[in-house]
Structures are given as C-alpha cells and as structure tokens.
Structure 1
Amino acid sequence: MSSDLRKNSQDKLANLDREYHFYSLPKAAARLGNIDRLPKSLKVLLENLLRNLDGETVTEADLQAIVDWQKNGHAEREIAYRPARVLMQDFTGVPAVVDLAAMRQAVERLGGDVNQVNPLSPVDLVIDHSVTVDAFGDQEAFAENVKLEMARNHERYLFLRWGQKAFNRFRVVPPGTGICHQVNLEYLGQTVWHEQQNGQEVAYPDTLVGTDSHTTMINGLGVLGWGVGGIEAEAAMLGQPVSMLIPDVVGFKLTGKLGEGITATDLVLTVTQMLRQHGVVGKFVEFYGDGLADLPLADRATIANMSPEFGATCGFFPVDEVTLSYMKLSGRSDEQIALVQAYSEAQGLWRSPGDEPIFTSTLALDMALVESSLAGPKRPQDRVALGQVPQAFNAATELDLGGSSSRHQESVEFNYQGHQHQLTTGAVVIAAITSCTNTSNPSVLMAAGLLAKNAAAKGLQSKPWVKTSLAPGSKVVTEYLNAAGLMPELEKLGFNLVGYGCTTCIGNSGPLPAPIEAAIKQGDLTVGAVLSGNRNFEGRIHPLIKTNWLASPPLVVAYALAGNMRVDLTHDALGEDREGNPVYLRDIWPSANEIAKAVEQVKTAMFHKEYAEVFNGDKNWQSIQVAGTPTYAWQQDSTYIRHPPFFSDMKAEPDALVDIKDARILAILADSVTTDHISPAGNIKTDSPAGRYLSEHGVTPDDFNSYGSRRGNHEVMMRGTFANIRIRNEMVPGVEGGVTRHIPSQERLAIYDAAMRYQREGVPLAVIAGKEYGSGSSRDWAAKGPRLLGVRVVIAESFERIHRSNLIGMGILPLEFPAGTTRKTLGLQGDETLSVSGLQSLQPGQQVAVHITYADGKKQVIQARCRIDTGTELTYFENGGILHYVIRKML
C-alpha cells in the first residue's frame, strides 16, 4: 500500500523549459486528508516522507500522523527525516572529518571496506571560524590576519585538503571567502533541489542539516534546515536518517512595518525575547502574516539566524515574491527561479496574502512597535531598550565577582600610542561589526557606513581604547560598501576590513592592545564589548570583558564613538564637533531614504563576480599539496589533528547496557549553562590543563590558537571540557572557572585533573544542572568531552534540543528531574553518590530510578524522566553512540 501512495503521487511540473518530476502533496492529500492549512514547514517534512516512503524506515502511518497533526497541533510520533545536503564550518567540520577518518580505520580494523565511509549526500564545508582579529584599524589588517591564519592553521587546512580528495561529494570553500551561512544564503541554497533519479529529473525542497546552530539562517530563503551536532551530521552524510519527533509549530504573525530609525537587529532582538518567553525549545517557528510582504529577505534571514537564541529548531519563512526577488538579485538562474515558483505553487508551499495555517500556538507582533534595542550583558534573549543600557550595565555588576576585591577601581590611567587616557568602568573596549547575523543584511551595513560618514563629517572619532573591526560575511559586502562610497568612511573611524569570518562573535576577537589589557587587570575593571553578532555568552568574546552587548552595526559604530556603556545614546552626546558643539546620535543617524538609496548599489553582477570561483581559494590555499590516500596518515607529533579514541576498542557487537553504580558528581551547575561553558571555543589560558599540555608539547602561548581551532585534538578538547573561565561549579562556591572538589579527598582540582583521578579509581561520573542545559552552539565537543572524562549521566531540569541529542550520540544518558525537584530541593552538595537502575530494560521517555546516597549515609530515590525521546535514539545509546551504530551497520 505504501508504495502505491508514493507511486500514485508522482506528477510533472508544467510550462517549464525542461521536464521535472515531483511527488505531489495534493495527490497524496486525496488519500491522506486535506492539508491546505498545514504549516508550510510541516508540508516540507511531509514531502520528505512521501518521497522516501519505503514501508520500513518511513510508513504511510508516518505521513498520516503529520496530516492528523492538524487536529490539535501536536503529534507524538517519531519520523525519519532525510535532508538533501549537509553544511559545515571548520570548527565543527574538522572534528567531523577526524571522526570520518577514524571510522575508516575502525572499519578497516574490523574487516570492512573503507570506501563505505563516504558521504551519500552533498557536503559543503566553509572555512570561516579560524581568522582572528590580531591586526585592526589600518589598511594592512586584512592581509596580516590572513597571513597569521594560514600559518597557524596550516596543519588543519592540510587535513581538510586530504578530506577533499579522500571523500566523495565533499566540497571545501577556502578561507577568506565568507561565513558559511552567508555563502549558503547567497550561493549554495537553491530553495528547490533537483537531481537525476532513475532516469528522471526529480525536484524536491532544498533541505539541510548543518554543524553550526545558525544553519537556520537559510530558513529566510524558504529552505528547511537547522543545526545538529557534528556526530549527527556525519550520520546524515553516511545515509542515516535524522530521527525526530513530529514537532509542534509555533506561528509568529508579523504585521505593520518597522518605524524610521529602527533596524532589522532591533526587530530580531524583540522577536528573540518574545519567543524565549513563550517557550519554543524543540519546536518549529513559522512566520506568517501580511507584514511579510514588506520584510526584505535579508531581514528574514537575520531573524531566522537567531533561532538558536530563541531556542527553536528553526524559524521558517515560506516562499513568496520576496524570495524570488532575492534569488534574482543574488544571481540565481532564471531557470532556477522559475522552478522555485512553479514547484512552490504546485505543492502549496507558496505564501499567499491572508494565509492562516493551523499552529500549536501563536504570537503576534506589530513591527511598528519595535524600538531601538541591544541585548546583554550575557544572553541574546535579554533585550534592553537603548535608553536603558546604562541601568542594565550598572545592574550587571553582580557578574563581576572580583568587584569587591582590593584591586577594584573606577578608573585607571594608561598611556597608549604616546597619549595619556583614563580607562573607566563601563569602557567599550571592543566594537565589532561581525558575524553572520547582520553582515548579510545590506540595510544595516549601509546604515553603519552612512552613520560613520556623518560622524566623520562632524569631526567625531572612535575613542582610542576601542578595538574596532569589520568582518563581513562575504566579499559581496565590501563590493557594495565600496560602490556606495562608504568603505572609506568606516575606515576613518577604524572599521577596516579584518577578515571574512566569524571573528569576534566566536571568540576570535584577538588580544586587546597591551596597555588596555594591563589597565583592565590593574583596576579589575568591568568593561564592555559591543558586537553585531548573535552570541554574547560569558567568557566567549574576550577573557577580560565581563559584559557583552549585541547591537545593530550602526549602534556598534555609535558605541565606538561614545566609548562607554554608561553613555545614554538617547540623551547624552557622543562627542563634540570641530566647533565644540555636542553631537547626539539623532544628529548623525541616516534617514530611511538615505539607507534605501545606498542599498540600490547592491547589484547582481557583484554576486556573479564573487561566487564565480568560490571553491578555488587564493595562492596560499592552492599551494597546499596532499597525498590522495584513502586513510589518513596520522602524525604522532601533531597538536592539531590526533587519532581520536572513540572507536579504538570498539567490538563488532555492542555490550549490553549496565546500570550506573555509585557515580560521583563532577559538577553541579545552575540554569542556562551553555555549550560555551561546557566546551569553550576561544582563548586557551596558559595555566589551564590544555595550556599545560600544549606547553609540554613545545607550543608557545602565542601559538596556542583557540579551543575551536584545536577541535581535531581530543587531548586538548578533553582538558578544555568545563574549562570556561566564567563557569561556576556550585561544589566550589564563590569561584569562577573549571574547578571541582575530588571526593572523598575534598581536594580542589581542575575538572580535567579530578576526572582523570576518578578514572584511575574506576569511578563513573555524573553532572547535575538546572534549566536549559546545553543552550547555544551545536557543539559536539560539549558531549564528546564529558564522554572522554568518564561522564555517564547528566541530570538536568531541562535540556536544549541539540545538546540533548549530542549526549545520546556519544552514549551519555540525559535524565530530567521530576517536576518540582531540583538540585536545591534535594540539597545536593557534590559529596553524594548516585546510582541509576533499570537500564537493561530502558525505553524512550520512561521513568528511571536514581538512588542518591548522601555523605551522612541517608538515602533517597527519585524517578527521573529518560530524555532519550525516540526508538532510534535508544538504538544509538545502546550502541555506545551514533557513529558506533553506523560502523556496525556498515559491517
């Protein structure tokens, strides 16, 4: 019967230059039931199931469950979703390719064919996370940073060049090209994919998973995609479907238009705050309403990019005229645009005025009510109205645990480039136009350029203690800033090009000038960074900066001029003009007409020019020569790429699950612990376990690079686990950083050192946490690291979606406290032992007994909920991880 439904739904698109076959949702609906009001994001899932209907991994009952979802906006059913392609960036891509290389060796050791370890779907890896802002503020900055990047990362790039040769359907976009999400939006994304299948050209929705949580940016183009951990992405590449529950879909209705002087960044920070408060973790968000007709695609992409910040799986915008206009502008072919329109209309995926799908729940926003905003000081969802920033900064001093120390001062005098200055509390020491969020959006970048032009005309300058940088998401950005005559204006204020990559937002902000770092340390000053990014988590941007603020590019420029977070930009002057008159933000803010006129400089020819040779790279990249061997020749002395131990003692059959007995607690953590806390991406401290390891292996601190760049070396990454300088382990009150108490000795140790001692003692480990454990980046090392430290179970009040599935993918059990029970109600101090029973008969979502034995011998049992949500996830867990399962399947 299933094959009948698939066969009978086949159809052809009419009136196109070539013949495209497709699996028709209207034809399937004739049997399954009306789908006119099904959310368009679920229609994409429905088509995916219909096209892959095989009676085994996908059954007709799966499709029926999506159709029946409309009855109450919910369905408790696991489905197998097969995305069309995979997108990676280098921080997550390098460890993924390391895993594939290790899988090949495991398959070879166990007697299989290494060529089975090969992508079955297209994979694009964009190198965008490695460039660091070492040089800034002059014309040489870009060339200098590229030179340093190539020198520091030569070994990693050599490895990626090997992967490019060794694996099929695997393309690498070289460094210095752009950010993966912007390259995806401007070039890779097709909205409708097509390929030859059994002699026919079959069209279907462009879908993907990416190893970066901001993969969701492509949702702005009507493409369903989201971030997963690298281990899940590897499984998807190797033909394993993504196991998921049919999601709830929250509808977000947009009406009206943004007011004068209000940017897409202000809109996205408002949307993020609203959706975080509504609660959308693990859910789809779909935008609808007639306000979409006036929302440019770049603004849609800016909102979709922030889906991880509001906690949703994705933030989907349906296809409409705005989509087609952007595809035309960005250089997609007329044939592709015609296909997108014809396919979307035929499948009911086209957005029409007045569309009101059925949703699980809804929110609405009149965009005319949005006000100028920032978010901070440490979470993207904490929106602050522009005029309230000084109060928010002052209220954030509880972050500054050293605030009462004897070193704490309000200001410190320092000498920089021959001049004396005062660095005060609240000083802005970084102002960065950075990251994928905003650098894909011409309107906010042109606004920044125009504001810089107006400021320079009045004689304003960035304050000398501000490290300024411009890191666009693609080369197209510098093309259009130059065409509008605005690049020289930004450069007058120190916003010179520093690289095409994530830079400051991923923690690659580079060092501050030495006198400024010294002044911050001397006075224990609480200072700020303002960036046009999407992440401002503690300890991420720079180790000395305790408050970090997300803002639109023009506000980044404004704060560079003001120089302090305590300046109220709605009332206080930014500085004085040449005649000594005060200059206010309102005096230099460009009008909507000026911005619109500048945006007209963005031309299709710019996209054609910059993407014509997108995979070629510069002479540095082309000069990297590698051998074309099927297995990688691991270098024993490498500090970047090491053969990981995940499969070294793996057997052809998995061992049976065993209960966890007398586990010790490694860390007790509060709410909103991010994957940055668990596995930082930025700076490696000299006196940390990872710093000591690198020093012992002959690496000088100048060449430590970052945790993100070292993700191909498990020795660095396991030492970096829970090593964020701002993490707070409640077992060691009043202390920041990755330390714990070893029990029963009560010795205070680095978490890594304690974990290694527990391993020698044969003691399993547990981590206890509050709500939203593992929010933030799709960072599989946040699961790989704990696994290598010996963590068997994480018990939290709630989990973020990607991290929960990553834990399972590494064979770690995620358990949720029962409602009303927390680490505090249980009085956990860290010297208890925990045992988890009943694992031999484990089922998805079941209650699991956790036996707690307190230090005084008192015992208590709680029933925790197993957050292995699907049968497929349970299979992965039983195999010790998803990649172990895939290897065994190949064998």
Structure 2
Amino acid sequence: MDNLRYIKKLQVGAETYNYFDLSELSRQGLGSISRLPYSIRILVENLLRKYDGTIVKAEDLQAIVNWEKKYDTPVEIPYHPARVLMQDFTGVPAVVDIAAMRDAVKDQGGDPAKINPVVPVELVADHSVQVDYFGTSNSLTQNVAREYERNGERYKLLKWAQMSFDNFKIVPPNSGICHQVNLEYLGRVIFTRKDKEGILAYPDTVVGLDSHTPMINGIGVMGWGVGGIEAEAVMLGQPYYMPIPEVTGVRLTGKPEKGITATDIVLTLTQLLRQHDVVEKFVEYFGPGMSNLSIPDRATISNMTPEYGATLGFFPIDEKTIDYLKMTGRQKQAALTAAYAHAQSLFYEENDEREYSTVIEFDLSSVEPSLAGPARPQDHIPLSGMQSAFAETTTVRGKQFLITLNGRKTTIQDGSVVIAAITSCTNTSNPYVLLGAGLLAREAVKRGLTIPPHVKTSFAPGSKVVSNYLEAAGLMPYFEALGFHIAAFGCTTCIGNSGPLHPELEELIRKNDLNVAAVLSGNRNFEARIHQRIKSNFLASPLLVMAFALAGRIDIDLTTAPLGTDPNNQPVYLDDLWPDQDETEQFVQQFVTKERFAKEYASIFDGDDFWKKLDSVKSTTYSWDEESTYIKKPPFFDGFTTSPPPPEDLEGARAFLLLGDSVTTDHISPAGAIPEHYPAGQYLLSNNIAVKDFNSYGSRRGNHEVMMRGTFGNIRIKNRMVQPKEGGFTLKYPENKELFNYDAAMQYLLEDIPLIVLAGKEYGTGSSRDWAAKGTMLLGIKTVIAGSYERIHRNNLVGMGVLPLVFKDGEDPQSLGLDGTETYSIHGLSGMGPGEELQVIANKDDGTTIRFQVISRLDTAIDLAYYRHGGILPYVLRQFLS
C-alpha cells in the first residue's frame, strides 16, 4: 500500500495545505468512514498518515478503518500523538528521566545529544504554587515569591531542559493552569508542519502528563492523560500502543434550566457515566443538546473525563469551535480548522448515521444544582440533599467550640467549612461561572454579608485572561471584599496545595477529631488530598463555593435555609444573591473578548521577573548535585544491560499491603504535605531541611529518595493488615512486626524477598501519577493483584515492569481467605502471552494452601515487551542503542 496516493490539496485563503484524504479510503473500498464516530476518524487519519509498513502496518490501518462496536480481545494499534503536554509535578521527573537516559547513553559509548524530544513538548509550570497567603491584595506576590524560594532548584532544571533539549517549550510559573492554557492558546485543533512536499495539515492530538488533559476534547482535539514514562516514550519517537477502544455515545438533549451551571451538569454526568462503566472507553457527545453548551461548558465536561473513568470525553468540531478559536485570537487556525474539518468529515453533522458501541441518553433539562463528595467526584449530591448527605457520612455531635482567629471570635463544629477555594481548570476556564460568582459576590456585599473567620478563602484563576475580564467588568472588588483575592495563577487547592490552616484552628480540629469540610470548584476530593486534617471535601461550582463560604458550614440546605443574616438581622437566602442568567450572558459578551486573550498570550513564554533571574547553563548532560534534596539521578538505569534478562517466576513472595476498593494514586503516592514523623519527613530532617521547608511530595518528585519513602504513605490509606490503624504502615513477616511501609520494604529487599500488593476494584483511580508506579517498583513490589484497574495506572505499572493481575470475577482477597500472612508463588511469567491466566499459590503458616487463578493485564504484545524489558524506559534505550 502506498499512502502517498491519499494526499490531496486544501486551499485556505492564500495558503495551500496537503492532507491525507479519509474519503479516499471509502472510495478505495477499504471501509466506510461515515459510520465511524468522530474520535475514531481521527485515529484513522493518524494511522493512514503514519503508515510505513513497518511500525504501522496494513492490518493496523485495516483494523481501525473497520472499527467494531465491541472487542472481545484487544486489538492493538500504534498511535502517534502530535505533541506532549506536561505540568511541572509530572514534568520534572520526566526531565530527570531523560537526563538520566542521556547519561546512560554516554555510559554505553553513544552520543547523549541524540536523546531529544522528536515531537513538540510544552510544559506549563502550574502545580507548585501553594496558598500560604490569602485574603490580601499582595497574596499573589507573596505566594509566587515563596514558590520560587521553595522550587528554584526545580525551575533551574526546567530552564536547563528548555535550553538543552530540542522541541521543548516552557510556559513559566505564574501564568495559569496547563489545561486552561492548552484550551485557550496551545491547542491547534488542526496541526501543521513543513515537509519536503509542502505544508502538511492534520488533526492536533496530544498526550499529557496530567489526567485532565481531556479538557482539550471540548474543542475537538483528541487528548488524554498518560503516565510520565509513556509520555517519555512518545517524546522520543515511539508510538503510543493502544487497544482500539469502544466508543460510548452520549446523546445530549434539552436545555439546562435557568441557574444551572456547567459544574452541576458535569457532576451529574460523572455519577451517571461511572454507573455505566466507561473505564478505558472513549466517550463522544452528540445530539441536539450540544447546541445549548458553550465551548467553556463543553471543556468543563471534558475536563472531568478521568473522574467518570473514560479515556476521552470528546466533543466534535462545530461552529462553536470555530467561533471560540476566533474569540481566543486564533483566526488563522479557525479558518484552517473549518476548511479541514469539512473536507475530512470531521465537522459535526447532527444527521450523520454514526455507530457507537452503546448510547446513553442525557437530558440537560433534568440537571439540578449539585455538589459531589465527601471523598469521591462521582458521589453526586443534589444541593437540596446536602444537609442530609453530610449527616449520613458522619456522626454530627452538635458540640461547638469557640475560637479567636486574628482577633475575631468564631465557633467551629462538625460540618464547619474551613477551606473555600475557587480553583482548578475544571471551572476557571468557564467565564459563565466566574462572572456568575462575581455577580453573586456583588449582591452579597450589597447585603452586608461577610465570610466567617474560620473559612480560608482563595481564588486561583487558570489564566491571566480571567483576572483581566473580571477587573474590566468591575467585579474583582466584590471577590476581594469577601476574601477571595487572587492567590495564584495555577493549580492550588485541587492538587493539595491548599496551604496551612491557622495553627490554632488546625490544633482544635485535631484535638477534637472534628469532621470539618472544604468546598472547592475542583475535580478531585480524595481522602487527605485537599488538606490532611479535613475529612470531608466537596466539589461545587464557584457560585456554590462562595455560597457555602458565606454560610460557613456544609451541613445546610441552601434551597430553604438562609446562608446568613444582614446587619439588620434579616435573613439572606441563596435566591436573593443568585445572578440573573441574562445579566451573566451580557457580561460574558461584553468583557470576554479576543483582545484580552491576545494581550495575555502575547508573551506567555517570557515569564515574570523571578523566572528571568533564574540562572541555568546549556549542556548536553545534566550536572547532578549530590547535596540536592529536590533533584537526584534516578536509579532506573543502574545495572543496565543491552539485553534484558527474562522475567523470573515469583517464589516465596510476601504480601506487602492488603487494600480495599477505590485505592487512588493519592493513596499510593500522595502529592500534598510531607508529615514530619513519616520516613520522607525523617529523610529531609536528616538532610538538615527544616519542616517549614519540606514543601510537598509533588514538588519533590525529582528525588527518588523522598518519593520511595512516600509511596503508600498517605495518612488515610487503609491497609487491612494493620486495621483499624490508618496510614503508611504494614506488618513485616515472619516477625509480625509493625513498621512504616518504606522500612518494611527495605528489610524485604535486604532479604531478597519479592513483594505483592492485594487490592480491590478501581485500583489506581485518580491522577496520572507516574510515581505511584515508580515507587511501587523501587520498593520491590513485583506484582499487584486487584479487582480492576484504572487505565492510566495499569499502563504505568506495565511501564515500570510491574505485573498487573486481576482476580477472576466474584473473587477477592476476602472471599479467598487471604489475610496477608501467606507466602506466594506465581509461575510461568517468562513465557506467558497477552491476557494469560496464571495460578497463584498462597501458603499459610499452618500448612494450608490456597490456589486461585488470576488474569494477566498485560493486554497486548507491546505490554509484554515492556514487561520483559523491565519497563518502557529500558525498552526505548535498548531500541536506541540497537
């Protein structure tokens, strides 16, 4: 097959583009393009364009053109994303890995300068700023100064990478959140590159080092989150091997009722789609209701794709996409996108007879005001049911505690809101909810309402465009009058960077074991993620965040009860403050303009004065600082050989942890505060780092010594081997001695005893956190046996050479009688095929033997190759050296 005969010309204004014509495939009788979902059509174009007969073979292209609604066994294809998107928490360890790979090439006698990204990489430094300061006009300046004080060493590494790697761009700190910057500026929708034939046009596709990368699906760009190790392989020119997905179509009908926000819609959808089990599937939206959703609304829905478990939450290109590109200052891209999408049958047509694996109906008019919590995004709660829902999750004791904070007296009890944060890309990309929150604040201020002193308030927009239009609209003074001063331009509370509570307040909560609450406009609320002392965390729109902050408590029905009283002791209800929908629309049309986007993005790569003052030197290999506690050369290439040793069977393995359902990557590799008495904290103290300078686990991902000690170190993780105790502890056998997880693992490593983890369903949900797999491997864990996996974490385990296994249906550790005291053996690992069934033998101390079957989640041939090489990075390095 010669794919060059599929190239056609496309004229857009004065520019001529080449493109690979999908309709020609149908004319050649290779399959019907019109029957395919839009997201699958993009994969077809990708394989047609990249067809070479070697990596992308004829059977790969044939398989995707003839996409099937359901696959009983996975059919793998090599997919080549156009670019990679990073944020700094996950980007720093990726840079560290690539730097270490350059060292490994040098050690093997190769040219380290040849290790370079071959596709464009864009990193937005957005995850390190914390809310140390809040509620004042200089909070932003103080937080950014503290950010650089803590993270200057990491940022110098990034600046080195920008200078020393090809195809590597940095959006410096204090610029915004990667997903919002991606939506508003970096996203091309249609990509172009020059080649010997001219200018080639093709769909913009991206993999990101953050699970919320699908936010870009809101403008018709195919993108999803992957682990850092997978992204590194893509950066270095490897295809992303993936099974052809099923595609769930969500048919949208109706129109949202007045007062309903995109947040209400997505929280309702998240629960619905979790119930329909869309894990590892594409979700594609269509139907007449699409016309009632703006691009920011669609982006809000696409952003929470990982929360409902899917790979994509895709909205195809339509007129709203083109208008959004124009409004955000991308006029040339708008013209190209419109022409290309029409030519390629990628422009949404309501009456297309597309096929889907299954179709779910969703009536937008059925949505009511909503929250989600207290610990999972899919746990939807109607606003009217908030009071009763909180009562069901805790024993509300009703006892109040009087405390004076900064000279103001206030009372604290179970249900008190202590953090109210307007934060995260989910909502700050949406001017309707932010201008709406500003209008609500205006009415609250007019009524003389104030926020109780026990509520820590913060506002962290996802781009500087937000502050620009809010100031122009005259609404920032009302945000600030209620304490919602801008504290950062980055991902703060949602990632766990909420900063400290007032010390006396935190001590009161700890001493009395109070179940206090955080309410945030984010997408994640897992246990101990937002703040380690806050047990109940609720997701809500920016308007409801503000409303609950005014109320000062979460255990209240705001549909009937007043959220406060004015200075004349008159009750003020939510309906009194809620903005008129027409006025919100008027503000959006008047103040959200293309000039504001053009102004803020004109110098997005330049950085502020802090960034410009950072010293960094261009060099082929990185100069590692042995004294650093932030950046260390990782051990992933220690003992590297050009030929991989075969995988060894497991003999005499021990259970390291016995876990339940819904263990998240936050449980496995926490991102927030580092406890002083835990191994990571003790390591930092031993290196003369003061507690105030610990920073966070997320910021120290460039140091494997910290991250190994933090693996399975969440203070809320529940290991049934030490129950009812919570935290990073296990029992070391045969001594039956309780130790920190890290200390036990190190003893097992000295004794050359391999480890396994036993877990329930939905293992590894949450962020695309590569250290959840890296730490697992470095602790000596050879396999995880779980009820089921979240897609990204399964991929990450494979990428680190850890074997993911699943129990057979109806079985779990409890039903099999496993309690963690056993020794385990698994045979046949060196010669197994994809998805093979294996036998596990568990021997108890009393001589009892338990035998059970498990299924390998090495789903494809490339999964097996990665596993046999000990992970993706050794595989890629061996490919390079050969």
Matched position secondary structure for 2:13: coil
Residue by residue over 1:355-392, the C-alpha shift from the partner in whole angstroms, topping out at 9 and shown as x without a partner, is 34200111111101100000000000000000111111
Once the 2 structures are TM-superposed, how far is the Cα of residue 688 of structure 1 from its aligned partner?
Answer: 0.4
Aligned to 2:794, which of 773, 786, 804? 804
Match of residue 876 from structure 2: 886
Q: C-alpha distance in 1, partners of 2:559/2:128?
A: 37
Match of residue 318 from structure 1: 316
Aligned to 2:465, which of 459, 472, 476? 476
Once the 2 structures are TM-superposed, how far is the Cα of residue 192 of structure 1 from its aligned partner?
Answer: 0.3
* CA separation of 1:421 and 1:638: change in aligned 2, threshold 3 A: same
Match of residue 735 from structure 1: 725
Q: C-alpha distance in 2, partners of 1:355/1:470?
A: 43
TM-score by length of 2: 0.99
Q: C-alpha distance in 1, partners of 2:418/2:80?
A: 45
Once the 2 structures are TM-superposed, how far is the Cα of residue 200 of structure 1 from its aligned partner?
Answer: 1.4
Match of residue 90 from structure 1: 88
Match of residue 285 from structure 1: 283
Contiguous gaps of at least 5 residues in structure 2: none
Once the 2 structures are TM-superposed, how far is the Cα of residue 685 of structure 1 from its aligned partner?
Answer: 0.3
Once the 2 structures are TM-superposed, how far is the Cα of residue 15 of structure 1 from its aligned partner?
Answer: 4.9
Residue identity matched to 1:870: T
Q: C-alpha distance in 1, partners of 2:329/2:581?
A: 26
Matched position secondary structure for 1:824: helix
Q: C-alpha distance in 2, partners of 1:664/1:73?
A: 36
Kindly indicate whether residue 318 of structure 2 is the aligned counterpart of residue 330 of structure 1.
no
Equivalences for residues 441-840 of structure 1 within 5 A: 441-600=430-589, 601-840=591-830
CA contact (8 A) 2:410 2:452 kept: no
Once the 2 structures are TM-superposed, how far is the Cα of residue 567 of structure 1 from its aligned partner?
Answer: 1.5
CA contact (8 A) 2:218 2:299 kept: yes
CA contact (8 A) 2:69 2:247 kept: no
Matched position secondary structure for 1:212: coil
Q: C-alpha distance in 2, partners of 1:410/1:716?
A: 40
Once the 2 structures are TM-superposed, how far is the Cα of residue 809 of structure 1 from its aligned partner?
Answer: 0.4
Q: C-alpha distance in 2, partners of 1:165/1:33?
A: 46
CA contact (8 A) 1:69 1:75 kept: no
Once the 2 structures are TM-superposed, how far is the Cα of residue 70 of structure 1 from its aligned partner?
Answer: 4.3
Q: C-alpha distance in 1, partners of 2:210/2:230?
A: 12
Matched position secondary structure for 2:654: strand
* CA separation of 1:410 and 1:354: change in aligned 2, threshold 3 A: farther
Q: C-alpha distance in 2, partners of 1:310/1:72?
A: 20
Once the 2 structures are TM-superposed, how far is the Cα of residue 14 of structure 1 from its aligned partner?
Answer: 3.5
Equivalences for residues 118-133 of structure 1 within 5 A: 118-133=116-131
Q: C-alpha distance in 2, partners of 1:441/1:356?
A: 32
RMSD: 1.2
Once the 2 structures are TM-superposed, how far is the Cα of residue 516 of structure 1 from its aligned partner?
Answer: 1.3
Q: C-alpha distance in 1, partners of 2:74/2:457?
A: 50
Once the 2 structures are TM-superposed, how far is the Cα of residue 69 of structure 1 from its aligned partner?
Answer: 2.1
Residue identity matched to 1:594: E
Once the 2 structures are TM-superposed, how far is the Cα of residue 626 of structure 1 from its aligned partner?
Answer: 1.3
User: Aligned pairs, how many?
Assistant: 879
CA contact (8 A) 1:413 1:519 kept: no
Residue by residue over 1:673-715, the C-alpha shift from the partner in whole angstroms, topping out at 9 and shown as x without a partner, is 0000000000100000000000000000100000000000000
CA contact (8 A) 2:12 2:336 kept: no
* CA separation of 1:742 and 1:15: change in aligned 2, threshold 3 A: closer
CA contact (8 A) 2:286 2:350 kept: no
* CA separation of 1:97 and 1:703: change in aligned 2, threshold 3 A: same
Residue identity matched to 1:620: F
Q: C-alpha distance in 2, partners of 1:71/1:847?
A: 25
Q: C-alpha distance in 1, partners of 2:535/2:145?
A: 30
Kindly indicate whether residue 8 of structure 2 is the aligned counterpart of residue 11 of structure 1.
yes
CA contact (8 A) 1:73 1:360 kept: no
Match of residue 399 from structure 2: 410
Once the 2 structures are TM-superposed, how far is the Cα of residue 259 of structure 1 from its aligned partner?
Answer: 0.6
Residue identity matched to 1:668: L
Q: C-alpha distance in 1, partners of 2:463/2:475?
A: 16
Once the 2 structures are TM-superposed, how far is the Cα of residue 409 of structure 1 from its aligned partner?
Answer: 7.9
Query: Which sits farther off after the overlay, 530-539 or 870-879?
Result: 870-879
CA contact (8 A) 2:420 2:520 kept: yes
Matched position secondary structure for 1:540: coil
Kindly indicate whether residue 859 of structure 2 is the aligned counterpart of residue 850 of structure 1.
no
Give the 4+ runs in structure 1 shifted more than 6 A: none
Q: C-alpha distance in 1, partners of 2:51/2:130?
A: 46
Kindly indicate whether residue 212 of structure 2 is the aligned counterpart of residue 209 of structure 1.
no
CA contact (8 A) 2:77 2:242 kept: yes
Q: C-alpha distance in 1, partners of 2:132/2:580?
A: 34
Residue by residue over 1:539-592, the C-alpha shift from the partner in whole angstroms, topping out at 9 and shown as x without a partner, is 000010000000000000000100011121111111112321100001110111
Residue identity matched to 1:550: L
Aligned to 1:390, which of 387, 403, 408? 387
Residue identity matched to 1:544: R
CA contact (8 A) 1:229 1:803 kept: yes
Match of residue 868 from structure 1: 858
Q: C-alpha distance in 2, partners of 1:41/1:446?
A: 32
Q: C-alpha distance in 1, partners of 2:195/2:802?
A: 39
Kindly indicate whether residue 359 of structure 2 is the aligned counterpart of residue 362 of structure 1.
yes
Q: C-alpha distance in 1, partners of 2:724/2:68?
A: 50
Residue identity matched to 2:486: L
Match of residue 219 from structure 1: 217
Match of residue 165 from structure 1: 163
Residue identity matched to 1:112: G
Once the 2 structures are TM-superposed, how far is the Cα of residue 749 of structure 1 from its aligned partner?
Answer: 0.6
Matched position secondary structure for 2:15: coil
CA contact (8 A) 1:119 1:239 kept: yes
Residue identity matched to 2:371: L
Query: Which sits farther off after the overlay, 684-693 or 836-845?
Result: 836-845
Residue identity matched to 2:370: S
Q: C-alpha distance in 2, partners of 1:154/1:71?
A: 50
* CA separation of 1:71 and 1:417: change in aligned 2, threshold 3 A: closer
Residue by residue over 1:25-47, the C-alpha shift from the partner in whole angstroms, topping out at 9 and shown as x without a partner, is 00012221212020000000000
CA contact (8 A) 1:38 1:70 kept: no
Residue by residue over 1:637-684, the C-alpha shift from the partner in whole angstroms, topping out at 9 and shown as x without a partner, is 100000111101111111111101111001011011000000000010
Q: C-alpha distance in 2, partners of 1:312/1:355?
A: 24
Q: C-alpha distance in 2, partners of 1:421/1:724?
A: 31
Match of residue 146 from structure 1: 144
Match of residue 98 from structure 2: 100
* CA separation of 1:73 and 1:751: change in aligned 2, threshold 3 A: closer
Once the 2 structures are TM-superposed, how far is the Cα of residue 116 of structure 1 from its aligned partner?
Answer: 2.1
Residue by residue over 1:169-213, the C-alpha shift from the partner in whole angstroms, topping out at 9 and shown as x without a partner, is 000100000000000000000100010122310000000100000
Q: C-alpha distance in 2, partners of 1:60/1:357?
A: 24
CA contact (8 A) 1:252 1:286 kept: yes
Matched position secondary structure for 1:13: strand
Q: C-alpha distance in 2, partners of 1:430/1:114?
A: 48
Q: C-alpha distance in 1, partners of 2:56/2:671?
A: 38
